[in-house]
Structure 1
């Protein structure tokens, strides 16, 4: 359960994303993957992702998942993931037709700031302390893996890198 203050501040924190401001330093707390879903179209994949997020929310004992924005025409989705301490991590996935067949996707998961969203004015303090390094212990990589595993269509990683 996400507290009221976290729910209120999360959209501002996700929009500002101060933890991503410094290239190189953001590699400590973000992960990017390219997926291939050989047997599905982008519109099928986006629908499967919606169901996978619901399943991930039930099966993940550490994180709470909420779809923040979905664009079925462009096949994009933004997901908020709150840890138990209510740090906000953001997942952004875009599905597009594959080069040869099926669907490919760009998936990014990142920590949005050093302070959790239950802290009053966290987005302001996270902007002030944007240069403080912190490590996510590969939670963003594990989060993308968990979402991918919850999808009922075959979805393989074809490239990955820490952002």
Structure 2
């Protein structure tokens, strides 16, 4: 349990720093970007997504870190069993003709788990090290999208 508390202390700093997302070729191994089209207004979708995330927090090991109803921005932290921190961000905006467009990204925040002392700084130094998330970022986004009536946009 000490690791969990320690991870949650370092996690927000690592999520802000996000060293695992700095280098384009390397980040592609452990990140996913998607654009969704949703029916309804950004406010309606914000409420639906926030509620869905809150309902699934315990089962999915999610933490709804930010939910700003003014900007329609949602940020989710996911701590893996080994205490790696994954970040998911969803920005809702009016769709091109109607509905809502959601611009989403999910990524592993660093090479080392956040239970390691000084992990955010070590991960900044090791930002060039390639590692895989085994498709978890894509699976997470796909689940949130499909269970909320979204369709992947063909941009």
Q: Say yes or no: TM over 0.5.
A: yes
**Which of 92, 95, 98 is matched with 2:89 structurally?**
92
- Normalised to the residue count of structure 1, the TM-score between the two structures is 0.88
Shift of 1:146: 1.9
CA distance in 2, matches of 1:55, 1:131: 36
Please, which runs of 5 or more residues in structure 2 have no aligned partner?
none
8 Å Cα contact 1:56/1:147 also seen in 2: no
- Normalised to the residue count of structure 2, the TM-score between the two structures is 0.93
CA distance in 2, matches of 1:111, 1:77: 17
Partner of 2:24, secondary structure, is coil
Structure-to-structure mapping, 1:3-152, within 5 angstroms: 3-38=4-39, 40-60=40-60, 64-151=61-148
Please, which runs of 5 or more residues in structure 1 have no aligned partner?
none
C-alpha distance 134-89 of structure 1, shift in aligned 2 (>3 A): same
CA distance in 2, matches of 1:59, 1:4: 19
C-alpha distance 145-99 of structure 1, shift in aligned 2 (>3 A): same
CA distance in 2, matches of 1:59, 1:34: 25
Report how many residues are paired. Answer: 154
Q: CA RMSD in A?
A: 1.6
